[in-house]
Structures are given as C-alpha cells and as structure tokens.
Amino acid sequence: MKSTAIAVLAVGIAAVLAGCGSNPGHHQVVPGTFVRVGGPAPGSPFPLPGTITARSATGRTFTAAAGRDGRFKLSLPLGDYHVTGRSPLMQSGQMTCAATAKLHVSRGKPARPITVVCSIP
C-alpha cells in the first residue's frame, strides 16, 4: 500500500513537472529600433533610448530597453503583438510612440525587425 502511494505520488509529480515547462514554448528574439522622425529638415531618424512594450491579443505584456542607439531586442512567444515605446526624451516619457506595423511571431519563420517611431511635426 505504501509503495503504491509513493508510485502514484511520483507519477503525479512527473505529470505536473512535464506540464510546468521544461519546454516553456517557442520564443523568438525580435530585433528593433526606436527612433524619432520629423522636425526641421532634413528630418532624418534620430535614435531614442526608452522602454519598448509588446502587448499580445490576450493582454500579456513583454518589455525591453532601447539603448542610446535606439536598438532593442524583444523575446516573445508565438502570437500577434501591438508594439509601443516611451522615451524620456519625448514629452518627459509621457508620449506613446507606435511601431510602423503589427508584429507577428510564428514558428519556423523569423520575425522581421520592427521599428517604433515617435513622430514630431
């Protein structure tokens, strides 16, 4: 009886551990740039530091830091994302800037790099 209970417990623990994530799911690292565009001529893109946020359709969020060169990398599971950014150089971090396109992460196909843009007149 005692050995049966131990065996059942061991099987239960193994099932829980298998479901918990020795394989946390497929992720891709998506590179990107965060820039300011517009302003006086020539209006060339200017890299921005800040925080990048990717929000999935279910509301789950993932963040990455953009360095002074505007570059960042997001590690994301499969899905569709709306990507935004905030920089302390844009309205003291109160301005929300958006990616130029929605981001789609799928298995077997590398996600294309994404650009988050803050537009100024």
| Domain ranges, ordered by start, for the chain | 25-120
- CATH code of the domain made up of 25-120: 2.60.40.10
- Each residue's pLDDT tens digit, 76-104: 999 999 999 999 999 999 999 999 999 99
Sign of CA dihedral 18, 110, 30, 120: negative
What's the CA gap between 21 and 13, in Å, rounded?
13
- Each residue's pLDDT tens digit, 2-33: 444 443 333 343 333 333 333 357 889 999 99
The reported pLDDT for the residue numbered 25 is 73
Beta carbons within 8 Å of 6's beta carbon, 6+ residues apart: none
b (16+ CB within 10 A) / e for 69-107: ebbbebebeeeebebbbbbeebeeeebebebeeebebee
Query: Pick from 31, 34, 30: which is nearest to 119 by CA?
Result: 34
pLDDT of 35 higher than 90: yes
